[in-house]
């Protein structure tokens, strides 16, 4: 790949993306929260739970790209205001998805990190638009995208003038049906040799099964990932979307402890 | 699938989309033209060649969604003006891709048909925006999308108030490398039993090989497709993009004749 | 590909495989019959029905490679004797699968064509063994195999001394779930430019849906295939396996007529 | 899945497969050695190197299933005699692939573990034959096989009377080309909830790249795998096959040390 900026080294050769006081790419970063912002109560309770459980950044969707036009499409501005309030209550910065070029400027005023979702990875107009903002971008891999295509999308953002890109592997589409997608764990070491950008993984969308998430999160850390992003809901069975992959606060807390412990071991004792 | 509008029958139970005097879904529709609008000369010469060769609609890209940010991104407005001039010279209506919600209103003033490309199939904001226009929409299948997901995207447009959607199968991503993608020919009869919308196929992007395009086009017609969309360039070796899959005018003309002949046989004698 | 024998031309440059009086690769060849030989009555009635419907060759499985060890595994020798009787009653030669190197010699005494199934395409020991026989081989494509790998498997048989190989495309495994597999129609023209061997398609296994089989069969013929192989059962709802993809004799007969008619048109009038 | 034997619990609910003094499924098992047995010198030197590096079991192929009939097919009996000698010299038991039902009885007299390769996973005749032996079976996942299909193949062996099956995930075929295959790391925790059989992973075939193997091996251990199987060659650049994925003895030794250390941490401190 002949990209210009992806091969440009920074600092010690790797990019560290600052999200408030959190340094993504330096130590372990845990992102957690609900799939969708449903209500103020649900969002703030979940935010408090994940902060107590050990999260560094809150996640939550206000604009939901849904397969069907008749499914819940998100609360929009109202959702962003709830996320802002959750940040005030917990001190956690938050990441939220943006899906329309016209929304980028004002969503960027609310959010700490803008997410480009898997379905929009090759929405080049959107990539150019977020490249103009000053906010870090969490770029999810398209479910059918090669690593090379993904890095070219990161390049769109970097080329636009925004150096703060976090790559997020969230599973690719294969023939296997036991899992929702297939987590491409090899992408972690592959990206470590192809780019200086931080890499996190999303085992919730990759597997679609609560029971597999802890093992996959530990695998990601052992493979060298800079972080993990998971879905947590105070009451998974009542979640508006993705209820089969949402952890309870207790499950999240137990898992986060193991992740911190494993990360420390890998970093200092291996 | 429980979509509302896709199962709503019209006329004789099927949708016919009118593009100028061309009726897509009633008889065989041939769409042809260059991948990109490069120059006025190249575009008009190609338009004249495909009209003489038997095309009903001209295709040509003014906004090109490219894997790399450093590749040719299209001529934009200038390209649309060239396409408009080509329409004046040849009488052929044209289809062109739109890739940004902000561009939809003004691109719709130029184009006869708005194309949603494979990479934007699940750009739901864009689908909602084109759903508000009065222009027919050519909705390409995402290269990793199931038929069900694709129909849900059509539903976004129909639900927005625009009934004129043409579905275009352009190959899905598989492990096979001899072809650029794998043409899912089964999608044609599958869609005929799942929806009333017209279905065309794009063997150029599906195969990526000139030598396979005539056979695949005939196969599409025999399977029941309402049309075929192919890339034609007056000088393929000098095409800015997709040169390996562009037909010469002579190749196109020979193929179009066979397609018309086969379609007539299938329609009236089989 | 640097294969030796696949590029060796014969006659007019293409291989014609003789199966009794049937010439596969010269004209249209229709292979039809039940998935499994279940009883003498079912097999002979189906054989008579497909002969009347227009089949050239009977198909039927005596050894069934089944996903589960607890599923019906076929009648074995008893099944072959029934197929032999069906041949005597109808005059149709038959193709049947062989799945063990040890069975090749004696199965070859019964069958007119030996089938290598998709799951055994890369069972190289089996390929070498059938390469030693004097019987034509129907080599199905593995559901995850590239065209290049498939041709290398044909090469194993040719290299063993057996020149009579018929290639059969039967769908590849993709993410699409509406169809059982995805028929790779592009393989037909691709093989026509890569090899001199005859190519047939199996729309029954490719689609897994009776409703799609006629359209796919016509598409195959229009794309240049030398034949079609389909599953037919006198009473599909009682079939021991693959009941969703078995045609009734009436459906088969209607389809076969259209196939003959289309083939003649494509051959002489296009 | 309604398999009978896979759900039958043993001991503490999990199967431990004894290979000489090595207990697969109880502690970490490391399998290492060359892709192919090429010469006595190469095999014995590699065997000594991997024993010193920390391997528990030697791997090496005497029968090689190769894509092309003109590629090296393995040394056969001569190769088995070399492996036997390597066992005598190093004390390491060895695993080797068997590819023909007729070879099973005599190969089983040499080998400590019989391997069923990915291409033969659904060679049901072979599965039935190895099910009759008293030797442990290493069952690789087919590169296009679902977890459910894979477990059904294990069931063929168990149903034949052989309880000693080790499952080996070796990457599945996807659209990604940076890696040779895509390691399905989710299969590890998935199998832990679906079956009592031990699970190892093969990062060599999964990635096809030496640089990714250490990270993937650590990921496998963190995810709960019972072992890892890797290709090691005393001189990778001269390997007859798979040279891009063969570790040097020094690379193997460094990696094995980290694996032991990580396994101990995961087992006792997490």
Question: SS3 letters for chain B?
Answer: CCCCHHHCCCCCCCCCEEECCEEECCCCEEEEECCECCCHHHHHHHHHHHHHHCCCEEECECCCCCCCCCCCCCCCHHHHHHHHHHHHHHCCCEEEECCCHHHHHHHHHHCCEEEECHHHCCCHHHHHHHHCCCCCEEEECCCCCCHHHHHHHHHHHHHCCCCCEEEEECCECCCCCCCCCECECCHHHHHHHHCCCCEEECHHHHHCCHHHHHHHHHHHHHHCCCEEEEEECCCHHHCCCCHHHCECHHHHHHHHHHHHHHHHHHHHHC
- With CB atoms and an 8 Å threshold, state whether C178 touches B148: yes
Please identify, in words, the CATH class of the domain defined by B5-269: alpha beta
Chain A: closest CA distance from residue C174 (Å): 6
CATH number of A10-269: 3.20.20.70
* Structure tokens, B243: 């040169």
What are the phi and psi torsion angles at C23 (to 5°)? Answer: -110, 100
Residues of chain C with Cβ-Cβ distance to B178 below 8 Å are 146-148, 186, 190
> Where residue C8 falls among pLDDT bands split at 50, 70, 90?
very low
B175, B181, B182: best mutation site toward chain D, by most D Cβ within 10 Å? B175
Q: What is the pLDDT of residues D140-162, one digit of tens each?
A: 999 999 999 999 999 999 999 99
Chain C: closest CA distance from residue D171 (Å): 13
- What residues in chain D have per-residue pLDDT under 50? 1-4, 7-9
- With CB atoms and an 8 Å threshold, state whether C125 touches D159: no
Using alpha carbons only, give the angle B157, B158, B162 rounded to the nearest 5 degrees. Answer: 85
| C204, containing H or E segment | helix C203-207
Give me the sign of the Cα torsion angle A231, A232, A235, A237.
positive
User: What b/e string do you get for B72-97 counting C-beta neighbours within 10 Å, with b at 16 or more?
Assistant: ebbbeeebbebbeebbeebebbbbbb
Residues of chain C with Cβ-Cβ distance to A173 below 8 Å are 175
User: What b/e string do you get for B101-125 counting C-beta neighbours within 10 Å, with b at 16 or more?
Assistant: bebbeebbebbbbbbbbbbbbbbbb
> Is the minimum CB–CB distance between C179 and chain B shorter than 8 Å?
yes
Q: What is the pLDDT of residues C214-230, one digit of tens each?
A: 999 999 999 999 999 99
B-chain residue closest to D176, CA distance: B175
Q: What is the pLDDT of residues A145-181, one digit of tens each?
A: 999 999 999 999 999 999 999 999 999 999 999 999 9
pLDDT at A8: 44
List of chains touching B (3+ CB pairs within 8 A): A, C, D
C67 closest CB neighbour out of D119, D143, D149: D149
> Where residue C3 falls among pLDDT bands split at 50, 70, 90?
very low
* Structure tokens, C229: 């192989």
If you count residue pairs, one on A and one on D, with CB atoms under 8 Å apart, how many are there? 126
| C83, containing H or E segment | helix C77-90
* Relative orientation angle of helices C213-222 and C249-269, to the nearest 10 degrees: 20
For chain D, give every domain's residue range.
5-269
Give the integer Cα–Cα distance in Å for D256 and A8: 33
Give the integer Cα–Cα distance in Å for D33 and D50: 7
pLDDT at D227: 98
Residues of chain D with Cβ-Cβ distance to B173 below 8 Å are 175
Residues of chain D with Cβ-Cβ distance to B175 below 8 Å are 173-175
> Where residue C242 falls among pLDDT bands split at 50, 70, 90?
confident
Residue whose tokens read 């009682």:
C238
> Is the minimum CB–CB distance between B174 and chain D shorter than 8 Å?
yes
- pLDDT for A7 beyond 80: no
Provide CB contacts within 8 A for B151, sequence distance 6+: B1, B3, B6, B191, B194, B195
- pLDDT for A260 beyond 70: yes
Nearest residue to D236 via CA among D202, D210, D258: D210
Q: What is the pTM of this model?
A: 0.94
Give the integer Cα–Cα distance in Å for D173 and D144: 6
- pLDDT for A2 beyond 70: no
Mean pLDDT across chain D: 94
pLDDT at A96: 98
Nearest residue to C50 via CA among C211, C253, C257: C253
Which runs of E-coded beta strand occur in chain D? Answer: 17-19, 22-24, 29-33, 57-59, 94-97, 113-116, 137-140, 165-169, 199-201, 227-231
Bridge-based pairing of strands C113-116 and B199-201 is unpaired
What are the phi and psi torsion angles at A115 (to 5°)? Answer: -100, 135
pLDDT at A244: 87
Q: Which of A61-75, A183-197, D216-230 has the lowest mean pLDDT?
A: A61-75
> CB of B158 within 8 A of CB of B141?
no
> Is the minimum CB–CB distance between C255 and chain B shorter than 8 Å?
no
* Structure tokens, C151: 């041709």
Give the integer Cα–Cα distance in Å for A196 and A226: 12
Nearest residue to B51 via CA among B270, B256, B264, B218: B256
* Relative orientation angle of helices C77-90 and C40-53, to the nearest 10 degrees: 40
> Is the minimum CB–CB distance between A65 and chain B shorter than 8 Å?
yes
pLDDT tens for chain B, 270 residues: list them: 444 455 444 556 899 999 999 999 999 999 999 999 999 999 999 999 999 999 999 999 999 999 999 998 999 999 999 999 999 999 999 999 999 999 999 999 999 999 999 999 999 999 999 999 999 999 999 999 999 999 999 999 999 999 999 999 999 999 999 999 999 999 999 999 999 999 999 999 999 999 999 999 999 999 999 999 999 999 998 888 888 899 999 999 999 999 999 999 999 998
Looking at residue C172, the DSSP 8-state letter turns out to be B
At the fourth CATH level, the homologous superfamily of domain C5-65+72-269 is Aldolase class I (3.20.20.70)
* Structure tokens, B42: 């190249």
Alpha-carbon dihedral of residues C69, C72, C76, C82, nearest 10 degrees? -170
- With CB atoms and an 8 Å threshold, state whether C143 touches D142: no
Alpha-carbon dihedral of residues C141, C146, C152, C155, nearest 10 degrees? 40
> Where residue C240 falls among pLDDT bands split at 50, 70, 90?
confident
* Structure tokens, D226: 């019972």
Q: In this structure, how many other beta carbons lie within 10 angstroms of the beta carbon of residue C260?
A: 15
Residues of chain A with Cβ-Cβ distance to D188 below 8 Å are 215, 219
> CB of D73 within 8 A of CB of D97?
no
Looking at residue A184, the DSSP 8-state letter turns out to be B
Q: What is the pLDDT of residues A21-47, one digit of tens each?
A: 999 999 999 999 999 999 999 999 999
Q: In this structure, how many other beta carbons lie within 10 angstroms of the beta carbon of residue D45?
A: 18
pLDDT at B3: 47
* Structure tokens, A93: 């910065």
Residues of chain C with Cβ-Cβ distance to B221 below 8 Å are 222
> CB of C109 within 8 A of CB of C130?
no
> CB of B211 within 8 A of CB of B171?
no
Mapping DSSP to helix (H, G, I), strand (E, B) and coil, where does residue D169 land? Answer: strand
Provide CB contacts within 8 A for B41, sequence distance 6+: none
Provide CB contacts within 8 A for C132, sequence distance 6+: C104, C160, C161, C162
Give the integer Cα–Cα distance in Å for D112 and D92: 10
> CB of C183 within 8 A of CB of C228?
no
Mapping DSSP to helix (H, G, I), strand (E, B) and coil, where does residue C10 land? Answer: coil
Q: Which long-range contacts (CB under 8 A, 24 or more apart) does D137-140 make?
A: D137/D113, D137/D162, D137/D164, D137/D165, D137/D166, D138/D95, D138/D113, D138/D114, D138/D166, D138/D168, D138/D200, D138/D229, D139/D165, D139/D166, D139/D167, D139/D168, D140/D115, D140/D116, D140/D168, D140/D170, D140/D202
Nearest residue to B218 via CA among A242, C222, C229: C222
C-chain residue closest to A181, CA distance: C175
Give the integer Cα–Cα distance in Å for C173 and C260: 29
pLDDT at A11: 52
> Is the minimum CB–CB distance between B258 and chain C shorter than 8 Å?
yes
> CB of D190 within 8 A of CB of A178?
yes
């Amino acid at each position: 790949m002949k990209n210009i900026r992806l091969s440009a080294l920074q600092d010690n050769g790797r990019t560290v993306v600052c999200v408030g006081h959190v340094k993504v790419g330096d130590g372990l970063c845990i992102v957690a929260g609900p799939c969708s912002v449903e209500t103020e109560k649900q969002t703030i309770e979940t935010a408090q739970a994940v902060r107590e459980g050990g999260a560094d950044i809150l996640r939550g969707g206000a604009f939901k790209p849904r397969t069907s036009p008749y499914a819940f499409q998100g609360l929009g501005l109202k959702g962003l205001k709830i996320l802002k309030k959750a940040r005030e209550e917990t001190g956690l910065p938050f990441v939220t998805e943006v899906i329309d070029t016209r929304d980028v400027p004002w969503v960027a005023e609310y959010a700490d990190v803008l997410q480009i979702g898997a379905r929009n990875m090759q929405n080049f107009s959107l990539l150019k638009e977020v490249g103009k903002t000053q906010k870090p971008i969490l770029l999810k891999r398209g479910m059918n995208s090669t690593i090379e295509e993904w890095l070219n999308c990161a390049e769109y953002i970097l080329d636009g003038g925004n150096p703060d890109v976090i790559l997020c592997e969230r599973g690719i589409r294969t023939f296997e049906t036991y899992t929702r997608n297939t987590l491409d764990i090899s992408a972690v070491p592959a990206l470590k040799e192809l780019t200086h950008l931080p890499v996190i993984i999303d085992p919730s969308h990759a597997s679609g099964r609560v029971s597999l998430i802890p093992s996959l999160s530990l695998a990601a850390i052992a493979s060298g990932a800079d972080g993990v992003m998971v879905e947590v809901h105070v009451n998974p069975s009542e979640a508006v979307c993705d209820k089969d992959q949402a952890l309870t606060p207790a499950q999240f807390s137990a898992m986060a402890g193991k992740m911190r412990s494993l990360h420390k071991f890998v970093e200092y004792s291996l």
